[in-house]
Amino acid sequence: MTGETKKIRLRFAPSPTGYLHVGSARTAFFNWLYARKTGGKFILRIEDTDIARHQEEAVNKIFSSMKWLGLDWDEGPGAEGKYGPYRQSLRTGIYKEYAQKLIQKKKAYPCFCTPEELEEKRKISRDKGEPFKYDRKCLKLAPEEIKNNMDSGMPYAIRFLVPENEVISFKDTVYGDIRFESNSIDDFIMIRSNGLPTYNFSVAVDDALMGITHVIRGEDHLSNTPKQILIYRAFNFKVPNFTHLPMILGMDGQKLSKRHGSISIEKYIEDGFLKEAILNYLALLGWSYDEKTTIFSVEELIKKFELSSINKKPAKFDYNKLLWINGHYIRNMPDSRLAELIKERIKNYLGPKKKSELENTFYTIDQKITEIIPIIKERIKTLNDSIDLIAPFFLKISFSSEYKNYFKNKNIDAAGILEKARIAFGKKDRELCSEYVEKSLRSICEGLNTGLRKVAEVIRIAVWNNKVSPPLFDTIEILGRKITLERINKYMEVIKSS
């Protein structure tokens, strides 16, 4: 590992205004990946100075989601380092200090214009069909006037004095050479009249003071970069390497929203997705290794990830592809781990049920789920999918009206099939294993000169209250003799009564 590589420092700096959504999670993951690939440091910084949108509870949601994903940070809240504090609300003194330095260097100035004055200026620009640009009224104030305004307690903001006729250029990893003319940039506010910093000023100061060498963030920040570079130049700070990630759109080409599927990591956890699948899919949103490989472990991603392989074209979020990837990880997961992940969901689902609704096997839930996993794992794409396939093993069934007269007008002797099955399954000298169940049902088919599909349909509805179930022979073995016979008897009564 070279000395230069060891110095690489990246940061993820979310604003706690809500849940950790897909776009932010991808940004965090790409920063984390590159830090782990290069042996660098991954820093978490909370940008919480937007009072109007700030949600303190969102801070813990961000922490918990990142921990669930396995995106551990080397420095940040809970892992304090020498560059802290790592919450911007605790760094306001730093921003004011650096703003004053720029005022002393004649690179910033106080602005006493009221919001009403500024809105009037914007209205004039709109009426003329021109973009608004501050007219530098307060730059022209005499020193005595500035002092008098401050002594009288007049509120003021601090504006950055944008140099004229300069070219601001940088090379972005994804978008290549970018150029901005300084004359197109307004004298932007660095410190608001309430004493809090604006985004561009605080980010530039923090990144510089925290030694950030690489900035990886969404392409919506591309237009902020020239203002931040101006701040770097004003302090003679070293400008970091920039990588702006492509937008994430829905499959319809529109901005990603809830209609395209879940968009927050918290919701994916709730819906039963695996972190391995989420990380795998996040990596595919704007990055590719080759044209054919889809499945990557985190270890493989760390090894293969390159900033130069990030695409410029917007990524499209395909919820069905995410489901497929999640299903892949479920199918390839050890049964024991899958059982552990599913147990709590099943217990939470069955917990509120009344005792009268439960079969007497509820107390054996851990053992039963271990037996059930092998026969359902090929059929589920999320952990939540397992509930419909597992709950009937523990809940008493009540036959729907659909199945009360289901066989009435069909050429199937349902009652006769059930009677023969009851006799076969009731033989206590025979173990009710899947092999015996299959042999018994095939024997019934031969005796009635009918196909297994018809016989199996009758038995499946009797023991599962549905035409679709997990593999029938295994299902009956797991249900056990007592419950299987109870359900057959109950369905026979339903058929006779109707």
Active site residues: 258
Q: CA dist 272 to 321, 351, 357, 403, Å? A: 15, 18, 25, 31
Among 234, 232, 153, 231, smallest CA distance to 193 is for 153
Residue pair 187/158 in contact by the 8 Å Cβ criterion: no
- Between CA 4 and CA 404 the distance in angstroms is 75
* Residue that the structure tokens 């961000």 belong to: 62
Here the tokens at position 277 are 């699948």
Angle, CA of 233, 237 and 238, to the nearest 5°: 105
| Amino acid occupying residue 393 | F
Q: Is 200 exposed, middle or buried (0-12, 13-18, 19+ CB in 10 A)?
A: buried
| Angle at the Cα of 114 from the Cα atoms of 109 and 117, rounded to 5 degrees | 110
Q: CA torsion 182→184→187→191, rounded to 10°? A: -90
Beta-bridge mates of residue 9? 41
